[in-house]
Amino acid sequence: MEQNIGNNFDHTATLRFFARWWKVLLWVFVVALVASTVAAFVIKPRYKSTAVIFPTNSNRLSKAIMDYHYSLDFMDYGIERDCEYAIQILSSASMERDVCECFNLTEHYGISPNDPHKLFKTNKIYRSNITVKRTEFLGVEVSVLDVDPQWAADIANYMAANYDTLCHRIHHDRAVNAADVMQKVCADMQARLDSTASLPTSQWKDRLIAAECDQLADLQTRASQTAIDKDEEVSYKYMVDQAVPADKKAYPKRLLIMALGSIGAVVMCIFGLLLFAKKEE
């Protein structure tokens, strides 16, 4: 549409093109503007609520209480590793299942309970509405979008609270297995100590009993630590910001939809008219 003459451009073809098709382009713009405006106002607005937590250090509570030589403080803020653990748990299928069951999201999202693909559809909407990401200072941000601002806040706060539940569930299962092993090892060590005690008295026997008593005491201390880890429910996070209901929608951006829809339609129309004009030549 433009001719390069030396360092100057001849815009005659461009002006001729718009002079010929300006009515068509104007109609396309008006129709697209109306259509995008209707679409922008038909879309249900969604509200965003955000909760922010700091994961605690993943050090064991039992060691901090019972081991005087343990230098790490379980009350410290978590390091990058703990932050990544928190993101994984908050994004896990277990968290998703708990949230969907607690809030009956299948019904809330308007999915029929008889739909054979209800779980797939529920999970798809859930993952598009909920994001978990790390903040600049090793915190974790849980953001929830929903058509109901109160639901968005409630889901975000529930996820932050349920994080402790899932962490405790994981640690409890691990500690139960460790406690069973410790109990068996302590029983074996006690049986060995009783067997040694039945031997004839000798200096060698006294040293062996003393060594086995030290081992048994160490094992019993570890068993006590494991019992604490198994039964104690502690918080694995510091709550920084609780989610509150938003008073302004986060989506859709109506002006943006109207602008992109109308301008995009005009641009596509121009390309179509250029192809049509080229075929006429």
How many residues are listed for the chain in this entry?
281
Give the closest residue to 49 by CA, choosing from 137, 203, 191, 160. 160
Better-scored residue on pLDDT, 205 or 123:
123
Where in the chain are the domains?
3-42+253-280, 47-241
Contact 266, 32 (CB under 8 A): yes
* pLDDT number for residue 238: 86
Better-scored residue on pLDDT, 148 or 22:
148
Element (H, E) at 130: strand 130-134
Query: Two tokens at 130?
Result: 């909920």
What pTM was computed for the model? 0.67
The dihedrals phi and psi of 49, each to the nearest 5 degrees, come to -125, 145
Kindly indicate the confidence band of residue 70, based on its pLDDT and cuts at 50, 70 and 90: very low
CATH architecture, domain defined by 47-241: 2-Layer Sandwich (3.30)
List of long-range contacts for 252-260, beta carbons under 8 Å, 24+ apart: 252/40, 252/43, 252/45, 252/46, 254/37, 254/40, 254/41, 257/36, 257/39, 257/40, 257/43, 258/33, 258/36, 258/37, 258/40, 260/36
Element (H, E) at 51: strand 47-55
Distance of alpha carbon 79 from alpha carbon 182, whole angstroms: 30
* pLDDT number for residue 128: 93
* pLDDT number for residue 6: 46
- Mean pLDDT, residues 268-277: 83
Kindly indicate the confidence band of residue 280, based on its pLDDT and cuts at 50, 70 and 90: low
Cis peptide before 252 (omega within 30 of 0): yes
* pLDDT number for residue 14: 76
Better-scored residue on pLDDT, 224 or 73:
224
The 10s digit of each residue's pLDDT in 109-143 is 999 989 999 999 999 999 999 999 999 888 899 99
* pLDDT number for residue 194: 72
Query: Two tokens at 277?
Result: 């004009």
Kindly indicate the confidence band of residue 24, based on its pLDDT and cuts at 50, 70 and 90: confident
Distance of alpha carbon 126 from alpha carbon 109, whole angstroms: 9
Distance of alpha carbon 155 from alpha carbon 152, whole angstroms: 5
Better-scored residue on pLDDT, 55 or 231:
55
Distance of alpha carbon 266 from alpha carbon 244, whole angstroms: 41
* pLDDT exceeds cutoff 70 at 203: no
Weakest mean pLDDT among 1-5, 8-12, 104-108: 1-5
* pLDDT exceeds cutoff 90 at 19: no
* pLDDT number for residue 247: 86
Query: Two tokens at 85?
Result: 């653990």
Distance of alpha carbon 41 from alpha carbon 23, whole angstroms: 27
Element (H, E) at 48: strand 47-55
Integer-rounded Cα Rg, in Å, for the chain is: 33
Distance of alpha carbon 151 from alpha carbon 158, whole angstroms: 10
Collapsing DSSP states into helix, strand and coil, what is residue 236?
Answer: coil
Region class of 70: left (phi > 0), else alpha (psi between -120 and 50), else beta = beta
Percent of the chain predicted with pLDDT > 90 = 31
